[in-house]
Chains A and B, each alone.
Chain A
Amino acid sequence: MEMEEKEKDNETTRPSNARLEVCDQRVKIKKWHAIAQWRWDTGNNDPEDDGEGDVCGICRVPFEGCCPSCKMPGDDCPLIWGECTHVFHMHCLLQWIGTASSKQQCPMDRRPWVTAERKVD
């Protein structure tokens, strides 16, 4: 959400109205990409999955919901991807990475955690 706002602001400083329109459209499409991507990347298409969708392996709360440290449902609770492709609530992962016993490793595969750059383009 925030990103979209920022981009729009950038675009409005551009001189041409026509350009602004195009850019606005691009922004919207980008956002669609982002949503589609994270639903695929978590990639658990198990039909047995009783409609609960994908859950964060740390707190077991679906990604659609916020993590247990976020008290209010409306709180901004972003997801974070590792280069290993594993995904968690950012709050849950940071809590883990913040402990000495994590050795900064991904909880799923114990490889060193490297946050993936999510290119929206």
Chain B
Amino acid sequence: MSVSTRRLQKELTDIKRDGTPVGIELLSAEDFATWYLSVEVLGNTVYEGEKFALKFRFDNQYPISAPAVQFVVDDHYTAPVHPHVYSNGHICASILGSEWSPVLSVVSVCVTIQSMLASCKKKERPPDNDRYVSHAPENPKKTRWDFHDDK
């Protein structure tokens, strides 16, 4: 059994025992390669009433290597309109790249993204959305992100 599988098994046990934070739900974790979780931003925010889904992909180096995380864009879900979220679901968030730490987890990533959405004042796409989306690799981890600082 790989190291990533054992770590994910522990995370899954914790989720099943302790539940997930408010607004976050486990949609599916059928194997230890791909998980889906939903994220809602509660309270009075620009995303009121919207529900998004995050797709996590893990390689067998997880948690030493960061998971590939993106918003699901399909018939049911869209990517939130946010200055750090591209319309193909890719997210420009430093914790998914240069600021990843192996003590983070699936749930803590969801919480971080949830608060990134909660603090958004104005719904808009990143300025380079169209250019990025037309050239983006399928896996967001293959993008070399230049992280804009959230001020």
* Residues A58 and B98 in contact, CB atoms below 8 Å apart: no
Nearest CB on A from B34, distance (A) = 20
* Residues A101 and B103 in contact, CB atoms below 8 Å apart: no
* Residues B6 and A68 in contact, CB atoms below 8 Å apart: yes
User: Which of the listed residues B3, B99, B101, B102 has the most CB atoms from chain A within 10 Å of its own CB?
Assistant: B102
Known: A68-B3, A69-B3, A99-B64. A58 touches B10 (CB 8 A): no
Residue of A nearest to B14 (CB): A60
Mark interface residues in B60-72 (1 if CB within 8 Å of A CB, else 0). 0001111000000
Residues facing B in A76-100 (CB within 8 A) are 92, 95-96, 99
How many residue pairs link A and B with beta carbons under 8 A? The number is 39
Q: Please classify how large the interface on chain B is, using the bins under 10, 10 to 19, 20 to 34, 35 or more.
A: 10 to 19
Docked pose: A95 CA to B102 CA in angstroms: 10
Mark interface residues in A86-119 (1 if CB within 8 Å of B CB, else 0). 0000001001100101010101101000000000
Q: Which residues of B contact A99 (CB under 8 A)?
A: 64-65
**Interface SS, B side:** loop
Docked pose: A107 CA to B63 CA in angstroms: 11
A29 within 8 Å of B (CB atoms): no
B122 within 8 Å of A (CB atoms): no
Known: A95-B64, A96-B64. A59 touches B7 (CB 8 A): yes
The interface of chain A, by Cβ under 8 A from chain B, is 57-61, 68-69, 92, 95-96, 99, 101, 103, 105, 107-108, 110
